[in-house]
Amino acid sequence: MLRRVLAVVLVLIAGIIALGPQRGAEAGTPVVVLTRDLPIGATIADGDVEPARQTHVPDGVIGDASTVVGRVLAGPTRRGEVLTDVRLADTDGPDPGPGRVAVPVHPADPAIVDLLGPGMHVAVIAVAQDGSSELLAPDAVVLSIAPGSARGHDDRPVVLAVPAESADRIAATALAGTIAVRFT
């Protein structure tokens, strides 16, 4: 009788194991792996990546292939490599808004950069050698300011959102002349 009860218990355990969740099929974390070697600066196409699962994954792993298609690689990669966030070039950049363009400038007075902050409105002025000035953009918006350098350089660029029609003139003046900004 004891053997029969033990046999029934073993059959029940075997049935539970057979009908239970499959361990190997869904084990691990979803990852995206590359299907071929790609050079730095390559734009990832749909066939360049495929989903996979791995039990040991690095920090910043990407699990959804649709989020990387169209993105640019920040470095060269190998076939089979697990794709992480640091392997992709940063797409976050200044958003100048409709009808505007982002232009980096180096104000003539580096001390003014410390007084600026993102979202501030300034006028962009070209200053000639003789001291005369010309208003290039009456309402530019500060988008970002480069952080201070550890080497003590005061020359920090400021990225401004300027009207598209004046962007080329501002960029050229920033390279060949002197730019000043004033608060509006």
Query: Which of 108, 105, 96 has its CA nearest to residue 162?
Result: 96
pLDDT band (50, 70, 90) for residue 72? confident
- pLDDT at position 78 is 93
The rounded percent of the chain whose pLDDT value lies above 70 is: 89
How many of the other CB atoms lie within 10 Å of CB of 26? 9
Bigger pLDDT: 170 or 20? 170
- Condensed to tens digits (0 to 9), the pLDDT of residues 154-165 reads 678 999 999 999
The C-alpha atoms of residue 53 and residue 115 are separated, in whole angstroms, by 50
Tokens of 183: 């608060």
Domains and CATH numbers, the chain: 27-90 (3.90.1210.10), 100-183 (no CATH)
- Condensed to tens digits (0 to 9), the pLDDT of residues 5-55 reads 899 999 888 888 877 666 555 678 999 999 999 988 788 999 999 999 998
Residue with tokens 């208003």: 135
Distances (CA, A) of 83 to 25, 35, 146: 21, 11, 29
- pLDDT at position 25 is 52
The C-alpha atoms of residue 27 and residue 73 are separated, in whole angstroms, by 28
| Whether the Cβ atoms of residue 88 and residue 73 lie closer than 8 Å to each other | yes
- Condensed to tens digits (0 to 9), the pLDDT of residues 79-100 reads 999 999 888 876 666 678 889 9
